[in-house]
Amino acid sequence: MKKLQQTFILITCIIVIAVAAAQRDGKIWGEQLSNNKKTTTTNQIDTLRTLDDGTIIINTTYLAKDVKGFGGTVPLNIYIKNGKIEKVEALKNSESPDFFQEASALLTRWNGKTTEQALAMKVDGVSGATFSSRGIIGNMKAGLVYASKKAQQPSIFEKMDLRAKSLIGLLVVLMAAIIPLFVKKKRYRIFQLSLNVVVLGLWGGTFISWSVLVGFMSGGINFWISFVPIVMLITAFIYPLFGKKNYYCSNVCPYGAAQELVGMTNHHKWKMSKRLVQNLEHFRKILFWVLMILMLAGVWSKWMDYELFVAFIFQSTSWVVILIAILFLVLAIFIPRPYCRFVCPMGSLFKLSSTSSVKKLI
């Protein structure tokens, strides 16, 4: 009966995320939500157009519909004149504006190249905007293959992200997902937490946040390039069904790891009264439900851009988020994991999905 209740609450959480995706992006799992079928048929997008001056425009909306960035598809217009790429133009997408602005630096990389030259190029993503970069690069490849009439299905290895950063990140997240289940030694924990911060956080910029979850729900998950976040999702939502509550927060989350490591530098913590702790926990619940109401009502979904996890992607993050993240790290010297325990909206969702009774959440 307890497992059934947990499963029901987990399904409810998934529905909440789906509603949030529909409100914010107007689509679920890559499918545009529209009750007006005429709109869909009359606004068909031309994959290839030719202007009066001979410029060919390739629209990648349909060609790369399975290529996802952070928030969904990243369609492009590729302008080709006299056999060479004149410019690349980004079309409307659901990427975070700050991250996509960083990734947009890639749009000029193919200018002046023939389609063959452009296809042969090895273009690296922009640090701090990895997912958006992948979206742009994948759309360019699909458009160029179409333009050169060499369309072919990519191999499994071409679909996968085999960069060192991704492979090492996958190794670290698998270690975090498995080894703490069996090894409880403090030295190993310090080592694992350090890897979480450095590899998953600072190097890979990979974590679970509301923005990530809503982006996956609205745009779908490209499984070939999302192994690390998929393992994170399993530890966050599946592990609790088998008695491992708060596993992601305690053993995987890069920002949670950073707070714990900072806290290890001081063994004399502030003594907080039981009443104060209860009031702060009550505040976390109130904050969570207020944010949920705002998000589900479509009033203010922008709060997702201010979750402190994005401070790891400091190249593209606002200074306000970075300062708040530093403030909570300072507090973590005196109070164990203050952001996790008393604020984190993502952690509140994990608690909600892993509980067996709704009464505990109110």
What is the secondary structure of 138-177 as a DSSP string?
Answer: HHHHHHHHHHTT---PPPHHHHS---HHHHHHHHHHHHHH
Edge-to-edge strands of the sheet including 84-90?
A: 48-50, 56-59, 76-81, 84-90
Domain boundaries, the chain: 46-149, 154-358
List beta partners, residue 32.
Answer: 27
Determine the 3-state secondary structure of 22 from DSSP.
Answer: helix
Residue 300 vs residues 11, 129, 286, 304: alpha-carbon distances, Å: 24, 23, 16, 9
pLDDT of residue 39: 40
* Rg from Cα positions in the chain: 22
Are residues 95 and 75 in contact, defined by beta-carbon separation less than 8 angstroms? Answer: no
- CB proximity list for 154: less than 8 A, separation 6 or greater: none
**What length does the chain have?**
362
Q: Where are the alpha helices (DSSP H) in 273-344?
A: 274-296, 319-331, 338-342
How many whole angstroms from its chain centre is CA 338? 23
- CB proximity list for 32: less than 8 A, separation 6 or greater: 26, 40
Q: Is residue 83 left, alpha or beta, with left meaning phi > 0 and alpha meaning psi from -120 to 50?
A: left
The gap between the terminal CA atoms of the chain, to the nearest Å, is 21
Distance between CA atoms of residues 267 and 333, nearest Å: 9
Determine the 3-state secondary structure of 120 from DSSP.
Answer: helix
pLDDT of residue 38: 41
Are residues 5 and 356 in contact, defined by beta-carbon separation less than 8 angstroms? Answer: yes
Distance between CA atoms of residues 310 and 325, nearest Å: 9
pLDDT of residue 264: 96
pLDDT of residue 40: 40
Long-range Cβ contact pairs of 322-330 (< 8 A, separation 24 or more):
325/255, 328/259, 329/258, 329/259, 329/262, 330/262
Q: Can you give the pLDDT of all 362 residues of the chain as single tens digits?
A: 677 877 888 888 899 999 988 888 888 887 777 654 444 434 567 888 888 888 999 999 888 887 877 777 889 999 999 889 999 999 988 777 777 888 888 999 999 999 889 988 888 877 767 778 888 998 999 898 888 875 455 667 767 778 888 999 999 999 999 999 999 999 999 999 999 999 999 999 899 999 889 988 987 887 878 899 999 999 999 999 898 989 999 999 999 999 999 999 999 999 999 999 999 999 999 999 999 999 888 888 889 888 999 999 887 788 999 999 999 999 999 999 999 999 999 999 998 887 765 555 44
CATH architecture of 46-149: 2-Layer Sandwich (3.30)
